[in-house]
Structure 1
């Protein structure tokens, strides 16, 4: 497993510091980074809960409701960070934050060399998602109904979602899916198949694709809820479109994680949301 430039090859897998204190510091550093996204989610939930009538019998302060709602996401983040801290270096993946804590390597200078690739891949993924969605609306009637259904948000409302998209999407989802899930899948695949000193490209791609599809499938409950509220039948085409659009990003960010770093995947994820928000703003204004 190799990167064309600065990522470690299979024969040069980063040394794994087995010291328990170092492991804990690495976990805490990435968990603290993820808490930025959890905070953004909390602000979004506070806004939503503050404008939604509570169920009968529920009489709790808004702060407690938000805190309780964040517990599952926070615990899942912690598990993913712990799993990644163990599996990622062993599978040849890297994080500049992780390496900074473990070995004192420079963070910003290493990331700076990856920014152009990360932004370019992220923007391309965003354009592909918008393009595939527009094409799906032409051939799947339910997708066109989904686009035309519901209230159109204002530009201000749309821009208010940017912190959640960039911080929760860009940071937390990358920690969950790339640092946690991809690292685990690739590490287990490598150990089970015994493909030499490092995971083969096939094992890596399998991990990336499985995580990408899993992310797409994870969006189906939200799709079902939205479609039901709008009276739109959930057709196979609508389901396939939802899984595909989310998997496109997962493959792009997985490649960045493999060939560059976790932080490059985060930057790429955020860049894709810049395209998605920009296209939505244009649709509102035009």
Structure 2
């Protein structure tokens, strides 16, 4: 086996592991939310086929972003230390240890912020009967794992790599300004990505609703993007997942 082969197979294993992690969130979200969305609607095909098609479509997207991140992250100094340790037969606990404090702190701050920002939601959101609910487990797994793979591991990494490749001509390490640009742009797209779900729950996407959804999620996206850059993908995952748990816990306590 050549050196290129020895590098290729751990990368393939890493991509497969990340893909499976991402699909866990896809599966739970699809199984818990899609039946609510479909309701008693008359469909030309069985509901299970719609579910399979939805999971397959999401799986293709997850596969693409995982491939992009796995291929490009090492080139620009980004990584997933715990996942990488797992495929290299190293200590996952040792790789996670330095990521836990910032991940937990980010999750606590994110959870407090997520709960607090709900008090400023436009009336169109607070007064609307929700046609479906997303269980906490789905929010933790899809938000904490799948969304971080899509927006941070895939998109943010791609943006950093493009700036490094096109503007720096692959010289040195990516400049901080390019990393921050990638963090902000991916966070904005993270915010915009929540608009379809919001549109399904309110009668109309007004300017206030759009600005609230995009603005609030962009702030959280910047936090998670920073954690990914400074500490690793798992830190962003921990913070994102924990933010949902903390926010839900506070909501139960104050209810």
TM-score clears 0.5: yes
User: Deviation of residue 249 (structure 1)?
Assistant: 1.4
Q: Hey, what does 2:76 align to over in structure 1?
A: 91
- Aligned with 1:27 (options 1, 6, 15): 15
- Aligned with 2:164 (options 161, 166, 190): 190
| Counterparts of 2:166 and 2:229, CA distance in 1 | 20
Answer whether contact 1:17 1:102 (CA < 8 A) is retained: no
- Aligned with 1:54 (options 16, 29, 41): 41
Structure 2 stretches of 5 or more lacking a match? none
Secondary structure at 2:96's aligned position in 1? helix
| Counterparts of 1:217 and 1:133, CA distance in 2 | 17
- CA 1:193/1:126 → structure 2, altered by over 3 Å: closer, same or farther? same
Q: Hey, what does 1:13 align to over in structure 2?
A: none
- Aligned with 1:206 (options 181, 187, 201): 181
Secondary structure at 2:21's aligned position in 1? helix
1:245 maps to 2:216: yes
1:229-280 residue CA offsets vs partner (Å, 9 max, x unmatched) = xxxx543222111101111211111111011111111100011101222243
| Counterparts of 2:75 and 2:104, CA distance in 1 | 27
Runs (4+) off by over 4 Å: none
Q: Hey, what does 2:233 align to over in structure 1?
A: 262
User: Deviation of residue 83 (structure 1)?
Assistant: 0.2
Q: Hey, what does 1:170 align to over in structure 2?
A: 144
Secondary structure at 2:199's aligned position in 1? helix
| Counterparts of 1:85 and 1:17, CA distance in 2 | 16
1:64-89 residue CA offsets vs partner (Å, 9 max, x unmatched) = 33111111111110001100001111
Tell me how many residue pairs correspond in the alignment: 251
Higher Cα radius of gyration: 1
User: Deviation of residue 151 (structure 1)?
Assistant: 5.5
1:70 maps to 2:55: yes
- CA 1:54/1:85 → structure 2, altered by over 3 Å: closer, same or farther? same
Q: Hey, what does 1:222 align to over in structure 2?
A: 197
Structure 1 stretches of 5 or more lacking a match? 1-15, 138-142
Answer whether contact 2:115 2:251 (CA < 8 A) is retained: no
Answer whether contact 1:87 1:187 (CA < 8 A) is retained: yes
- CA 1:223/1:151 → structure 2, altered by over 3 Å: closer, same or farther? closer
Q: Hey, what does 1:144 align to over in structure 2?
A: 123
- CA 1:18/1:203 → structure 2, altered by over 3 Å: closer, same or farther? farther
| Counterparts of 2:195 and 2:176, CA distance in 1 | 29
User: Deviation of residue 101 (structure 1)?
Assistant: 4.9
Answer whether contact 1:87 1:183 (CA < 8 A) is retained: yes
- CA 1:109/1:97 → structure 2, altered by over 3 Å: closer, same or farther? closer
